[in-house]
Amino acid sequence: MAKQDRAIRTRQSILEAAAVVFDERGYDAATITEILARAEVTKGALYFHFASKEELALAVIDAQMMTDMPAAEPGRASKMQELVDMGMIFAHRLLVDPLLRGSVRLTLEHGSTNLNRSGPFHGWTELHTRVLAEGKERGEVLPHVVPADTAELIVGAYAGINTMSQAINNRADLERRATILYEHVMPSVAVPSVLARLDMAPGRGARALAEAERQRLRAAEAEAALEAAPAGVG
């Protein structure tokens, strides 16, 4: 393994360990000692990558926006399906990805220090605004919709059903709650013909990821075939 690869992996281990500790304890109660123990790295290695607990927390928060989202999946029925998929995939990932869970906890609670946790709110809002504006250009969106307002509403409401689901049953029903959110909001956003074909049902996150994976495989096979062909012919 090259030196740079190793550094990237160490950084990732620290980030994931920190996310788990932040998720369990919250920002205030989390300690560098506990993060070190979980990451199984030296203090020197940690401080090489992150100067402070705050810097570590900000990196965990940022990781939320870096998740590999199959946003431009060409097979998607509509921009509005892309909008719904952002939330449905997020709900699915939150159950399986500790890094995302740590990031979400830091974002949703302000703690006693002034950790700037507005980043993901702005990031997700921008992403939603863009998809809504593109949907509007394509005629998928009702004329009275203001993309930035609807974007902020969906992002804020989503954060809330997440908090509520976490408070009530440790997120066991988050997907169902996300479905109910979209069922209530999308009729005020999408034109009827697009609305009728939206998949907003629980399990959509896993289905969208599987579909993206199939497309990636098909694309890779097509590329391999293309590369193999001249050799076979020539």
**Which chain residues interact with a copy of itself by CB under 8 A?**
25-26, 28-29, 105, 107-112, 117-118, 121-122, 149-150, 152-153, 155-168, 177, 180-181, 183-185, 187-189
In whole angstroms, the minimum distance from the beta carbon of 189 to a copy of itself comes to 7
Closer by beta carbon to a copy of itself, 7 or else 108: 108
Q: Tell me if residue 110 falls in helix, strand or coil.
A: coil
190: phi then psi, degrees, rounded to nearest 5: -90, 150
Cα 221 to Cα 153: distance, rounded to the nearest angstrom: 41
Report in angstroms how near the CB of residue 161 gets to a copy of itself at its nearest: 4
Neighbouring CB atoms inside 10 A of 212's CB total 21
Smallest gap from residue 178 Cβ to a copy of itself (A): 10
Closer by beta carbon to a copy of itself, 149 or else 223: 149
- Angle between helical axes of 3-29 and 98-108 (0-180°, round to 10): 40
Task: Considering the complex, state which of residue 100 and residue 209 has its C-beta at the smaller distance from a copy of itself.
Answer: 100
Least gap, CB of 200 to a copy of itself (angstroms): 12
Q: Between 41 and 104, whose beta carbon lies closer to a copy of itself? A: 104
Tokens of 2: 């090259």
- C-beta of 50 vs 124, nearer to a copy of itself: 124
Determine the Cα angle at 26 with ends 23 and 31, to 5°: 100
Q: In which region does residue 78 sit, left (phi positive, over 0), alpha (psi from -120 to 50) or beta (all else)? A: beta
- Residue 187 CB, shortest distance to a copy of itself, in Å, is 5
How many CA atoms, within 13 angstroms, populate the side-chain half-sphere of residue 125? 14
